[in-house]
């Protein structure tokens, strides 16, 4: 599992800059309704720009397991993020590690994913009609109190169960990511609009500052 993911990357140049800034993952959005959508036929240079240096994460919204397998197999992408309303039985058919994006409303909602077949969670703010990338923050203090650390453990989990790592998303910027990490105490962070000059266009300086400040946050909270 990675610590710092720059999502909504739309070009090989920005992908390379994200890795140079210190990100250990980049997200490529294959949802046509996103302003950061990348057609699968245009994604190969982005994947190649980070291969061997960082993880490429394929972001889907309500795509079929067959579509996901085809796109990831052809591009050589090894991690999938599900950001829509994909049912558990559909996710179970995906042969790649799955990050389940959970869009929270008022700090509640993750309990419904207790038995979801995924290796990790990404927590973002719920916005009607949207599937992430809105720049709206969650209540970090509430997350810190209810989750209590970098791994999600449900009430019925055996005490020996270490839980599943989770990433914080939503409204993160270079200016607030240190505080967000020290307050919410996630395993990792995900940023899109907070390091852009325009939708889908990343800024080198903002990415470097974000990564540096995120590392300070992780160091400060001992995660």
- Helix H, strand E, coil C: the string for 40-82 is HHHCHHHHHHHCCCCEEEEEECCCCHHHHHHHHHHHCCCEEEE
The pLDDT score that the predictor gives to residue 221 is 87
- What pLDDT score was predicted for residue 23? 99
Instruction: From first to last of the 223 residues of the chain, give the pLDDT tens digit.
Output: 899 999 999 999 999 999 999 999 999 999 999 999 999 999 999 999 999 999 999 999 999 999 999 999 999 999 999 999 999 999 999 999 999 999 987 556 788 898 999 999 999 987 666 666 567 899 999 999 989 899 998 865 566 678 899 999 999 999 999 999 999 999 999 999 999 999 999 999 999 999 999 999 999 988 7
The three-point CA angle 200-195-23 to 5° equals 100
- The reported pLDDT for the residue numbered 127 is 67
**Domains (ranges, CATH) in the chain?**
4-221 (3.20.20.70)
Q: Sign of the CA dihedral 217, 14, 25, 190?
A: positive
Are β-strands 151-152 and 164-168 bridged in parallel, bridged antiparallel, or unpaired? antiparallel
Check: CB of residue 203 under 8 Å from CB of residue 197: yes
pLDDT of residue 64: 98
Residues marked active site are found at 7, 124
Q: What phi and psi values does residue 147 have, to the nearest 5 degrees?
A: -90, -40
E strand residue ranges, 69-144: 79-82, 98-104, 120-125
The residue whose two tokens read 């105490």 is 185
| DSSP E strands, 98-179 | 98-104, 120-125, 151-152, 164-168
**Rounded CA gap, 182 and 186, in Å?**
8
Pairing of strands 188-191, 196-198: unpaired
Buried b (16+ CB within 10 A) or exposed e, 29-60: bbbeebebbbeeeebeebbebbeeebbbbbbb
Type and span of the H or E element at 14: helix 12-21
Contact 192, 202 (CB under 8 A): no
């Amino acid at each position: 599992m990675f610590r710092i993911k720059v999502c909504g990357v739309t070009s090989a140049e920005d992908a390379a800059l994200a890795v140079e800034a210190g990100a250990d993952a980049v997200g490529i959005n294959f949802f046509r309704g996103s302003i950061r959508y990348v057609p699968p036929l245009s994604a190969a240079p982005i994947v190649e720009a980070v291969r061997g240096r960082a993880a490429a994460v394929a972001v889907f919204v309500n795509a079929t397991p067959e579509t996901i397998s085809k796109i990831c197999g052809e591009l050589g992408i090894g991690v999938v993020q599900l950001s829509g309303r994909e049912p558990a039985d559909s996710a179970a058919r995906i042969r790649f590690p799955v990050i389940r994006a959970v869009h929270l409303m008022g700090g509640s909602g993750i309990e419904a994913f207790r038995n979801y077949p995924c290796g990790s969670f990404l927590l973002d703010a719920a916005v009607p009609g949207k599937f992430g990338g809105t720049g709206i923050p969650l209540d970090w203090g509430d997350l810190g109190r209810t989750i209590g650390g970098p791994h999600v453990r449900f009430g019925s989990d055996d005490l020996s169960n270490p839980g599943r790592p989770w990433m914080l998303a939503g409204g993160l910027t270079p200016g607030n990511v240190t505080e967000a990490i020290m307050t919410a105490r996630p395993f990792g962070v995900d940023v899109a609009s907070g390091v852009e000059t325009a939708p889908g266009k990343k800024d080198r300086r903002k990415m470097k500052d974000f990564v540096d400040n995120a590392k300070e946050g992780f160091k400060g909270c001992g995660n």
